[in-house]
């Protein structure tokens, strides 16, 4: 066994996570190096290494890769200066010439069963629907509809996972609200969404 690899993995995981004023369901997980502030994550979701997430509501069954940034703060472009030396909150610089209150971070909402690829940046205030895929390295600045696939810088819609009839039926089915026993029942059928939805009388 490669001891250097084991040591490297242990070192990476030993950094821990930084959370403040947040909720993380007991079935979900944040990997080390991640900062999670004023945010929530519902059940069976995970976030990879070295992510920065601020004022974001994340649904259930979400897969967030490493190095993802969601909901960063903005600077007061309408002021004479954008520097934090004139603002009340603590920042990297120590000097203060005024203490104007300014911390504009609108809530970002990530739906259920969303896959966010590695290195994605999501602007604060964005709403991402259920079942969405955001390709790696994307810079997302617009709201995203249910089951759409977006990628690029700036990110644009490049497709959708299913046809509209299936998407509408998925929204009615809302499988992410099922309890664990119900999920175990439907689990064997998830490889064929259309068949499952027909079985449920939704198509």
Residues catalogued as catalytic: 75
Nearest residue to 136 (alpha-carbon basis) of 123, 149, 147, 125: 149
Instruction: Kindly report the backbone phi and psi dihedral angles of residue 56, in degrees, each rounded to the nearest multiple of 5, phi listed first.
Output: -130, 135
Is omega for the bond preceding 154 within 30 degrees of 0, making it cis?
Answer: yes
Measured CA angle at 29 (ends 90, 34), to 5 deg:
30
d(CA 83, CA 188): 55
User: Which tokens belong to 175?
Assistant: 């499988």
Q: What's the chain's Rg over C-alpha atoms?
A: 20
Describe the strand order of the beta sheet including 40-41 as a list of residue ranges.
23-24, 40-41, 56-58, 108-110, 127-128
Instruction: Measure Cα distances from 3 to 12, 49, 175 in Å.
Output: 14, 21, 43
């Amino acid at each position: 066994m490669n001891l250097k690899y084991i040591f490297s993995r242990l070192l990476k995981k030993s950094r821990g996570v930084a959370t403040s004023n947040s909720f993380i369901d007991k079935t979900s997980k944040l990997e080390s190096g991640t900062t999670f502030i004023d945010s929530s994550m519902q059940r069976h979701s995970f976030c990879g290494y070295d992510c920065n997430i601020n004022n974001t509501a994340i649904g259930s069954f979400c897969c967030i890769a490493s190095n993802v940034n969601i909901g960063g703060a903005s600077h007061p472009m309408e002021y004479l200066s954008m520097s934090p030396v004139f603002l009340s909150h603590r920042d990297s610089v120590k000097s203060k010439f005024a203490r104007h209150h300014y911390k504009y971070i609108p809530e970002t909402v990530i739906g259920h069963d969303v896959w966010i690829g590695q290195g994605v940046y999501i602007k604060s205030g964005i709403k991402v629907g259920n079942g969405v895929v955001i390709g790696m390295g994307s810079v997302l600045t617009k709201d995203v509809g249910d089951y759409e696939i977006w990628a690029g810088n700036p990110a644009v819609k490049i497709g959708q996972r299913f046809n509209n009839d299936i998407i509408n039926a998925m929204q009615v089915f809302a499988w992410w609200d099922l309890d664990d026993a119900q999920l175990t029942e439907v689990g064997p059928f998830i490889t064929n969404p259309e068949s499952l939805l027909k079985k449920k009388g939704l198509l």
